[in-house]
C-alpha cells in the first residue's frame, strides 16, 4: 500500500507536468480537460507539491517508480518558475518599447502607490490583496433592452473615492454565443481593478448570434456609461474598454469604429453631447483580430455569426475584423496573448500589433510563452499576477499621461 500511494502521487505530479507542456488539447469542453490543462499550466506548484510527496513517499517505500515519476513532475513544475524572470524582463521591455522611455514617470505618484511595485513571484500576495480590498458591488443593473432583449451590467466601485474616477467597461468572452458578465473568476479581476481606483462596468451583450448585434450592444454600453457618468462618479473623458477572446474582438471593434455610421449603437440614451462612443484606451486578451485567418468551419462560431464561410462572404469577414479599421489616431492598445493558444492563434495579435505600430498607434503586445487560451483567467495563477502588473500600469498611464499630439 505505501508503494501504491507513493506511485499515485508521482503519477499525479508527472501527469500535471505533462499537461503543462503538451500542446493545447482540443476536446469536448464537458470533459474539462482544457480547463485541467490551463490550471496545470498556470499553477505549476501543484506538480511541485505532488512531485515532492511522490519522491518523499517513494524513498520511504523504496519505490523507484514513484521516485522517477515524482522527479519528472518536479522538473516540469519548476521549469516555468525558472523562465519567469526572463519573461518578466521581456514584458517590461515591451512596455518601454510601446509607450516610450520614461512612460512610468507620467503616472502620478499617488496612483503608482496603489499597485505592486514589482512582478509577483508568489501566489499568496494576490490572494491576501483580494481578501483585504473593499469594493462596492451593484449587480444586474438594466442598461438597455434592444428588441426586447434585456441587457444588464455589474458595477464595481471603490469604497473610497475623491472626484470623478476613470471607468473600465469589461466585455466577456464566450465565442459570441455564450458567456456572461462577471463570468468564471473574472469578477475577481473586476474587484481588483475597482480597488485601483476605477469604476468597473462588466456588461452583457446579445448572444443570439446575429451580427452586428453584439457590437451594437457594446457601443450602447459605452454610451450608457457616459450618460450615467455623474450618477456613478465617472469621468466621461476617461473610459477604457477591456475584453477577452470574443469580448476582446468586440472591444476592439467598438473602439476602432467609434461613431462610425456603418456600425450604429443598439440604443440611444443621454444628452446629445454624451453620445460620443470614443474611449481612452483598449486592453484585450487573445482576441480574434482578423477573422479571415479563422479556419473555414461551417459549424464554427464565426461562420454561424457572420452567416457563411470566408470564401463565400469575404467582404463581410473583413468588415467584422478589427484589423481592417487600424489607422492613426486610435486609442492606445494593450494586447495580451499566450503563445500556445490554439483556439485564437497568436498570429491574430502579432498582425494587429504590427498594423498598429505601422500606423503610429501607441500599442504593446505582451507575449506569454507558456500561455494558453484564457491565460489571464486565474488571477492567482502563475501568469495572472504577471499580466495584472502591466495592465495596472498601462491603464494608469493611459488615463493620466500627457497627449504629445495635443
76 and 178 inside one domain:
no
pLDDT-wise least confident of 3-17, 253-267, 305-319:
3-17
241 and 306 inside one domain:
yes
Q: How many domains, the chain?
A: 2
19 and 166 inside one domain:
no
- Give 17-37 pLDDT, tens digit per residue: 888 888 776 644 445 677 788
Q: In what order do the strands lie in the sheet with 234-244?
A: 135-144, 151-158, 199-203, 165-171, 234-244, 281-285, 333-338, 363-368
88 in a domain, yes or no? Answer: no
C-alpha to C-alpha distance for 159 and 179, rounded to whole angstroms: 28
Task: Please state the separation of Cα 102 from the chain's center in Å.
Answer: 26
C-alpha to C-alpha distance for 280 and 31, rounded to whole angstroms: 40
Q: Which of 24-28, 142-146, 208-212 has the highest mean pLDDT?
A: 142-146
Residue with cell 501543484: 46
Question: Helix (H, G, I), strand (E, B), or coil: what is residue 289?
Answer: coil
- The residue among 122 and 251 whose pLDDT is bigger is 251
- Give 71-106 pLDDT, tens digit per residue: 998 898 888 888 888 999 999 999 999 999 989 999
406 in a domain, yes or no? Answer: no
Which residue in 50, 245, 349, 377 is the catalytic one? 245
31 and 177 inside one domain:
no
C-alpha to C-alpha distance for 219 and 255, rounded to whole angstroms: 9
C-alpha to C-alpha distance for 283 and 251, rounded to whole angstroms: 8
Concerning whether 373 is annotated as a catalytic residue, the answer is yes
298 and 339 inside one domain:
yes
Polymer length of the chain: 406
Specify which residues 360 forms β-bridges with: none
- Give 244-254 pLDDT, tens digit per residue: 999 999 999 99
Mean pLDDT of the chain: 89
Count Cβ atoms within 10 A of the Cβ of residue 255 and give its class: 0-12 exposed, 13-18 middle, 19 or more buried: buried
Task: Please state the separation of Cα 65 from the chain's center in Å.
Answer: 40
31 and 109 inside one domain:
no
DSSP per position, 12-39: HHHHHHHHHHSPPP---GGG-HHHHHHH
Task: Please state the separation of Cα 12 from the chain's center in Å.
Answer: 29
Question: In terms of residue numbers, what domain contains 341?
Answer: 100-400
Query: What pLDDT, on a 0 to 100 scale, did the predictor assign at position 268?
Result: 58
228 and 317 inside one domain:
yes
Where among 28, 58, 83 does a domain terminate?
A: 83
57 and 125 inside one domain:
no
Where among 83, 108, 139 does a domain terminate?
A: 83
Beta-strand ranges (E) seen in 84-223 are 135-144, 151-158, 165-171, 199-203
Residue with cell 495596472: 392
Cβ atoms of 119 and 386 closer than 8 Å: yes
pLDDT-wise least confident of 140-149, 193-202, 229-238, 264-273:
264-273
Which residue in 154, 202, 341, 390 is the catalytic one? 341
Concerning whether 341 is annotated as a catalytic residue, the answer is yes
Where among 56, 83, 110 does a domain terminate?
A: 83
C-alpha to C-alpha distance for 145 and 257, rounded to whole angstroms: 22
173 and 77 inside one domain:
no
pLDDT-wise least confident of 36-40, 95-99, 162-166, 318-322:
36-40
19 and 168 inside one domain:
no
Radius of gyration in angstroms for the set of CA atoms belonging to the chain, rounded to a whole number: 22
**Cell reading at 55:** 519522491
286 in a domain, yes or no? Answer: yes
C-alpha to C-alpha distance for 312 and 307, rounded to whole angstroms: 9
Residue 183 has pLDDT above 90, yes or no: no
For Cα atoms 342, 347, 349, give the angle at the middle one, nearest 5 degrees: 105
49 in a domain, yes or no? Answer: yes
Residue 335 half-sphere exposure toward CB, CA atoms < 13 A: 32
394 in a domain, yes or no? Answer: yes
**pTM attached to this predicted model:** 0.92
Q: Which element (helix H / strand E) includes 336?
A: strand 333-338
295 and 396 inside one domain:
yes
For the domain that residue 118 is a member of, what is the CATH number? 3.40.50.1820
90 in a domain, yes or no? Answer: no
405 in a domain, yes or no? Answer: no
192 in a domain, yes or no? Answer: yes
Residue 399 has pLDDT above 60, yes or no: yes
79 and 108 inside one domain:
no
> 29-44 burial string, b = 16+ CB within 10 Å, else e?
eeeeebeebbbbbbbb
Cβ atoms of 15 and 71 closer than 8 Å: no
Amino acid at each position: 500500500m505505501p508503494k501504491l500511494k507513493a506511485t499515485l502521487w508521482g503519477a499525479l505530479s508527472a501527469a500535471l507536468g505533462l499537461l503543462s507542456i503538451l500542446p493545447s488539447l482540443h476536446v469536448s469542453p464537458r470533459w474539462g480537460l482544457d480547463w485541467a490543462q490551463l490550471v496545470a499550466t498556470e499553477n505549476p506548484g501543484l506538480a511541485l507539491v505532488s512531485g515532492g510527496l511522490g519522491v518523499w513517499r517513494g524513498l520511504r517505500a523504496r519505490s523507484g517508480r514513484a521516485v522517477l515519476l515524482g522527479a519528472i513532475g518536479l522538473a516540469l513544475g519548476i521549469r516555468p518558475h525558472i523562465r519567469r524572470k526572463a519573461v518578466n524582463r521581456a514584458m517590461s521591455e515591451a512596455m518601454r518599447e510601446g509607450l516610450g522611455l520614461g512612460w512610468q514617470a507620467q503616472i502620478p505618484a499617488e496612483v503608482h502607490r496603489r499597485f505592486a511595485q514589482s512582478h509577483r513571484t508568489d501566489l499568496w500576495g494576490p490572494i491576501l490583496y483580494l481578501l483585504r480590498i473593499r469594493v462596492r458591488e451593484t449587480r444586474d443593473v438594466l442598461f438597455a433592452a434592444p428588441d426586447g432583449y434585456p441587457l444588464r451590467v455589474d458595477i464595481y466601485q471603490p469604497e473610497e473615492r475623491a472626484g470623478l474616477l476613470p471607468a473600465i467597461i469589461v466585455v466577456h468572452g464566450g465565442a459570441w454565443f455564450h458567456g456572461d458578465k462577471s463570468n468564471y473568476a473574472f469578477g475577481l479581476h473586476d474587484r481588483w481593478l475597482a480597488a485601483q481606483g476605477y469604476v468597473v462596468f462588466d456588461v452583457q451583450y446579445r448572444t443570439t448570434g446575429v451580427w452586428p448585434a453584439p457590437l451594437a450592444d457594446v457601443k450602447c454600453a459605452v454610451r450608457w456609461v457616459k450618460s450615467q457618468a455623474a450618477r456613478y462618479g465617472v469621468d466621461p473623458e476617461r473610459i477604457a474598454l477591456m475584453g477577452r477572446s470574443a469580448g476582446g474582438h468586440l472591444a476592439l471593434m467598438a473602439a476602432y469604429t467609434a461613431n462610425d455610421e456603418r456600425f450604429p449603437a443598439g440604443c440611444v440614451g443621454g444628452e446629445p453631447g454624451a453620445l460620443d462612443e470614443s474611449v481612452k484606451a483598449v486592453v484585450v486578451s487573445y482576441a480574434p483580430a482578423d477573422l479571415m485567418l479563422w479556419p473555414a468551419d461551417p459549424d464554427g462560431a464565426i461562420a454561424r455569426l457572420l452567416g457563411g464561410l470566408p470564401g463565400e462572404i469575404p467582404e463581410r469577414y473583413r468588415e467584422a475584423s478589427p484589423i481592417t479599421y487600424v489607422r492613426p489616431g486610435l486609442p492606445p492598445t494593450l494586447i495580451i496573448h499566450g503563445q500556445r493558444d490554439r483556439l485564437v492563434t497568436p498570429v491574430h495579435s502579432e498582425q494587429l500589433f504590427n498594423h498598429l505600430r505601422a500606423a503610429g498607434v501607441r500599442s504593446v503586445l505582451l507575449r506569454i510563452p507558456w500561455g494558453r487560451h484564457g491565460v489571464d483567467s486565474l488571477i492567482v495563477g502563475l501568469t495572472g499576477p504577471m499580466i495584472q502588473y502591466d495592465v495596472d500600469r498601462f491603464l494608469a498611464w493611459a488615463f493620466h499621461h500627457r497627449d504629445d499630439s495635443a
